[in-house]
Structure 1
Amino acid sequence: MSIDDTSTLSSSNKPREQDHEHENALISNLVDRYKDKLTTFPIEKGCVFGSLYMYQGFWYLSQHKLSIETLFALHETFIARPNDVYVATLPKSGTTWLKAIVFSTVNRSRYKYNCLATHPLRVSNPHKCCPFIETEFYESAPTYNDTHSPRIFGTHTPYTSLPRSIIDSGCRIIYMCRNPKDVLVSLFHFSDKVREQSGDLMKINDAFELFSKGVMPYGPYWDHVKEYNSASLERPTKVLFLTYENMKKDTANGVKRIAEFLGYPFTDEEVDQGSIEEIVKLCSFESLKEVDQKGNYHGVPNGSYFREGKVGDWTNHLTNEMCMILDQITKEKFNGLDILC
């Protein structure tokens, strides 16, 4: 499916049952292929989708579309292109928002003369416009086989665990981190949304204990952030390191910076015409939240991806002791690093 088709994604006529059967069959095959390998990995209780397995120092889901099995398969099959763009984040770090910004910035000339109401981001979840490379493995016609350039993908995979072709290709990676306390709170609420049908809700104390030990999908949080920060210092023309807080504080400047990094700088005419402000408005929390609220993305209701989107919401959920512990861990882990989030 090409990016041009994103305007019809929300009304696809392909039978959902057939999609699920195809996905379940692929998941089953992958689980069977790598089941012996997983028996040697450390395992921990997860806060969202069950158990997590440690691989190369990070925690991964299993038997899921975003899983360690998919990562292994990507290592074997995925071929990156030099002009690819990858949006990398930890879960609940502004992933949906950043995907929308990158997609609309890179594709602004393609939709320049379209009515705003028909823009792909007005009719479809940003995750469908900028799919995860991990979930694309399950598509019968994956975007990464499309001829359109540049291809834009998302990923939660730690830097050192990315498919080797991504690093070697010389493509560009945009990474955004978020204050760990807000990540924890957002992850806690997201897990409850996922778990509510089973009634197996998690308490904030339990989520805190797991998070502070580094146990979260693609965590530990601090190691994930440090890897991409290090990569941005070593390869500043290939890896851009952003923080959610700075992007929220001055979104227009963040959009301009992203455009320049990707090689799509705004012209003086575009600036005068308010193109940056249009993208900021199109990708605002309010704008994205109202799109297709009754739909879902890989079984998770679209509304689950949009809760508050605020900086500092942790003050409403964490105790002083929890904050002190997380602050201390962050201070120790980021010692000497210029990471402000």
Structure 2
Amino acid sequence: MEATTISENINLSKSHGVESRDIEEELQELVQRLPKERFGFGRDENSAVYFYQGFWCPFPLFKATISFQKHFETLDNDIFLTTPLKCGTTWMKALIFTIVNRHKFQPENNPLLTSLTPHQAMPYVEVQFYLKNQEPNLSHIPQPRLLHTHLPYSSLPPSIRECPTAKIVYICRNPMDMFISTWHFIENIRPANEEPFPLDEAFEKFCRGVHAYGPYSDHILGFWKAKQENSNKILFLKYEDVKADTFSHVKTLANFLGFPFSEEEEKKGVVEEIIKLCSFENLKELEVNKSGYQAFGLPNSAFFRKGEVGDSTNYLTPAMVERLEKSVLGKFDKSGLTFKISSKTNCE
């Protein structure tokens, strides 16, 4: 790629003098020497991922990622949701926002019902703050700040990893369902004039770890190991477990965040109210989530497909499941981490 093209794409602000020029030069050097592949529709830079710090970073977010890493300062009471793609992120954002803010408004007046999407309630830091501003002013965000990122643990800004009191909620999902959900998401947002992203091609790259914020197994293991070292800082959740027993996991989540439910609240059914309000079925049917667009140009409706466990059995052959078990799940051996995987598929 020509350096002039890189410069035009990253479009860094010149207001920071030498430091800004240094970062621009750093980015130009990086994208010229890092491994590059395509994941998704299209053939331009927007579909490119670069292997950076051990993970595949989407090119459109490269500048924002580096700015986030360099400049973000964590507050003691920050709450972060950290996730791979398509692992219950939208659902978990709604739950965290509602748990933390439940004393500010009655359930029927929760802004998630009328004017606020989960992605506005818990902003994606790189996209909503650092994409257009190298050093955004985040002082206007109400505390505790509820923030989200897809970055692997080792690539989080140092201030997040080093702050002893900031909380990290991590949720992941069995790789079969995560892969199929990601593929559907890419196809759902594909412009009509773009060629489809073939399932076989996407599968081949996913098994090699080539996808946004992949390899998937490395992403999971990074947070799993960090949680073993500091369980007070990281709450590690699996989508399947939360779906199977939402009540107990919502209580665990509230306790971890420092907003536990009182006995009176439990007697009044507040936990059940929150679960119902934030359920996939309810969120999907709200007008605020059926219309409009996110700050990064994607339709709100694209974030709601099925929310089911085991949907991958309708798309993956037994041979594909076997390969994923070896290429992804095999890396969890001796870690103590397991996933509930259905061996039955409806696809031959």
User: C-alpha deviations, 1:85-142, integer Å up to 9, x for none?
Assistant: 0000001111111111111111111113xx6155335422100010011122247896
Gaps of 5+ in 1: 1-24
Residue correspondence of structure 1 range 110-129 to structure 2 within 5 A: 110-112=104-106, 116-129=108-121
Residue correspondence of structure 1 range 77-156 to structure 2 within 5 A: 77-112=71-106, 116-135=108-127, 136-138=129-131, 144-146=138-140, 148-156=142-150
Residue correspondence of structure 1 range 1-341 to structure 2 within 5 A: 27-29=10-12, 32=24, 34-47=27-40, 49-62=46-59, 64=60, 67-112=61-106, 116-135=108-127, 136-138=129-131, 144-146=138-140, 148-170=142-164, 171-291=166-286, 292=288, 293-297=290-294, 298-341=296-339
User: C-alpha deviations, 1:256-282, integer Å up to 9, x for none?
Assistant: 000111111100000001111011011
Q: Distance in 2 between matches of 1:56 and 1:287?
A: 38
Q: Distance in 1 between matches of 2:268 and 2:10?
A: 48
What RMSD, in angstroms, separates the aligned Cα atoms of the two structures? 2.1
Instruction: Give the TM-score of the pair, scaled to structure 2.
Output: 0.85
Instruction: Give the TM-score of the pair, scaled to structure 1.
Output: 0.87
Residues 142 and 250 of structure 1: CA distance in aligned 2, closer, same or farther (over 3 Å): farther
Is the 8 Å Cα contact of residues 65 and 130 (structure 2) preserved in structure 1?
no
Q: Distance in 2 between matches of 1:179 and 1:315?
A: 12
Residues 60 and 100 of structure 1: CA distance in aligned 2, closer, same or farther (over 3 Å): same
User: C-alpha deviations, 1:1-30, integer Å up to 9, x for none?
Assistant: xxxxxxxxxxxxxxxxxxxxxxxx995227
Is the 8 Å Cα contact of residues 96 and 127 (structure 1) preserved in structure 2?
yes
Pairwise CA distance, 1:194: 2.0
Q: Distance in 2 between matches of 1:193 and 1:147?
A: 31
One-letter code aligned to 1:258: L
Gaps of 5+ in 2: 1-7, 14-22, 340-348
Q: How many percent identity over aligned positions? A: 37
Paired residue total: 313
User: C-alpha deviations, 1:179-226, integer Å up to 9, x for none?
Assistant: 100011001111112223333111111110010000110000000000
One-letter code aligned to 2:279: S
Residues 335 and 130 of structure 1: CA distance in aligned 2, closer, same or farther (over 3 Å): same
